Structure 1
Amino acid sequence: MPPVELSRSGTKMASLSGLRLIMDDIAATTGSATGKEWLNLGIGNPAAIPEVMDTWHRMTAEALVASFGDVSCRYGPSRGLPELLDTIADYFNRRYGWSVGPRNIVVGPGSQMLCFIAAALFTGPGATRDTRLVLPLTPDYTGYQGLSLTPDGITGVEPLLRRQGERSFRYLFDLPALEGLSDVGLMLLSSPSNPAGRCASSDEIQRLISAAESHDVPLVVDNAYGAPFPGIGGQSMAPVWDERVINVFSVSKAGLPGERLGFAIAHEQYIDPIVSFVSNSALHAPQLVQSALAHALRSDVLDTLVASAIGPFYAERRKFVESLLAGTLPEDIAWHLHAAEGGMFCWVWVDEEWFDDLRLYELLKRRGVFVVPGRHFFTDAEHSQGLGRHPQQCFRISITPDPDTIVAGVEVIAAALSDMRAESIRMLR
Structure 2
Amino acid sequence: MIGRVQRTGPAAPPEPGGAPRLPGGRARSSAVTGKESHTVELSRSGSKMASLSGLRLIMDDIATTMSSAGGKEWLNLGIGNPAAIPEVQSTWQRMTTEALAASFGEVSCKYGPSRGLPELVDTIADHFNRRYGWDVGPRNIVLGPGSQMLCFIAAALFTGPGAARDTRLVLPMTPDYTGYQGLSLTPGGVTGVEPLLQLQGDRSFRYLFDLPALEGLADVGLMLLSSPSNPAGRCASRDEIERLVSAARGHGVPLVVDNAYGAPFPGIGGPFTAPVWDERIINVFSVSKAGLPGERLGFAIADERHIDPIVSFMANSALHAPQLVQATLAHALRSDVLDTLVGSVIRPFYAERRKFVESLLAEALPQDIAWHLHAAEGGMFCWVWVDEEWFDDLHLYETLKGRGVFVVPGRYFFTDAEHSKGLGRHPRQCFRISVTANADTIAAGVTMIAAALGDMHAESVRTPL
Smaller-chain TM-score range?
over 0.9
* 1:40 and 2:67 are equivalent in the alignment: no
**Secondary structure in 1 aligned to 2:265?**
coil
| Aligned positions, number | 429
Alignment-derived partner of residue 193 in structure 1: 229
Between stretches 274-283 and 303-312, larger displacement belongs to: 274-283
* Cα distance in 2 for residues equivalent to 1:177 and 1:276: 34
The amino acid that maps onto 2:80 is G
The answer to whether residue 168 in structure 2 is matched with residue 132 in structure 1 is yes
Residue 166 (structure 2) pairs with residue 141 (structure 1): no
Task: Decide which of 308, 311, 325 is 1:275's aligned counterpart.
Answer: 311
Q: 2: CA distance between counterparts of 1:34 and 1:133? A: 43
Q: Displacement, 1:26?
A: 5.4
Post-superposition shift, 1:235?
4.4
Contact 1:347 1:395 in 2 (8 A): yes
Q: TM-score, normalised by structure 1?
A: 0.98
Aligned to 1:241: 277
Q: Is the CA contact (8 Å cut-off) linking 1:22 and 1:42 kept in structure 2?
A: no
* Change over 3 Å in CA distance of 1:85–1:22 after alignment to 2: farther
Decide which of 368, 384, 388 is 2:404's aligned counterpart. 368
* Partner Cα distance (1:186, 1:30) in 2: 38
* Residue 419 (str. 1) matches residue 455 (str. 2): yes
Unaligned residue ranges in structure 2 (runs of 5+): 1-36
The sequence identity of aligned pairs, in percent, is 84
Is 2:235–2:270's contact at 8 Å kept on the other side of the alignment?
no
Aligned residue runs from structure 1 range 373-388, under 5 A: 373-388=409-424
2:374 aligned with 1:338: yes
How far residue 4 of structure 1 moved from its aligned partner, in angstroms, is 2.1
- In structure 1, the residue matched to 2:13 is none
In structure 1, runs of 5+ residues without a counterpart are none
Q: Does 1:309 align with 2:345?
A: yes
Describe the shift of the 1:22–1:256 C-alpha distance in structure 2 as closer, same or farther (beyond 3 A). farther
Check the 8 A contact 1:193/1:343 in 2, yes or no.
Answer: yes
Residues 170, 338 of structure 1: 8 Å contact kept: yes
Matched, 1:357 2:396: no
**What amino acid is the match of 1:376?**
Y
Deviations 1:133-176 (A, max 9, x none): 00000000000000001000000000000100000000000000
In structure 1, the residue corresponding to 2:452 is in which secondary structure? helix
Deviations 1:15-35 (A, max 9, x none): 231341353155337636643
RMSD: 1.2
CA shift in 2, pair 1:226/1:22, >3 Å? farther
SS for the counterpart of 1:428 is coil
Instruction: Letter of the 2:129 partner, please give it.
Output: N
Separation in structure 2 between the aligned mates of residue 316 and residue 268 of structure 1, nearest angstrom: 39
> What is the alpha-carbon distance in structure 2 between the residues aligned to residue 94 and residue 223 of structure 1?
18
Equivalent residue of 2:322, what SS? coil
CA distance in 1, matches of 2:440, 2:214: 42
8 A Cα contact 1:29 1:38, kept in partner: no
Letter in 2 for 1:260: R
Aligned partner of 1:202 in structure 2 is 238
Secondary structure (helix, strand or coil) at the match of 2:191 reads strand
2:186 paired residue number: 150
Q: Does 1:86 align with 2:154?
A: no
Give distance in 1, aligned partners of 2:344 and 2:168: 41
How much has 1:177 moved relative to structure 2?
0.2
Please point out which of 159, 165, 170 is paired with 2:201. 165
SS in 1 for 2:463: helix
Runs of 4+ in 1 over 4 A off after TM superposition: none
Does structure 1 residue 10 correspond to structure 2 residue 34? no
Partner of 2:264: 228
Show the counterpart of 1:260.
296
Match of 1:213 among 240, 246, 249: 249
Amino acid at match of 2:360: L
Name the CA distance, whole Å, in 1 between partners of 2:376 and 2:53: 25
Assess if the C-alpha contact under 8 Å between 1:170 and 1:339 holds in 2: yes
Q: In structure 1, what is the equivalent of residue 425 of structure 2?
A: 389
| Cα distance in structure 2, aligned partners of 1:25 and 1:102 | 43
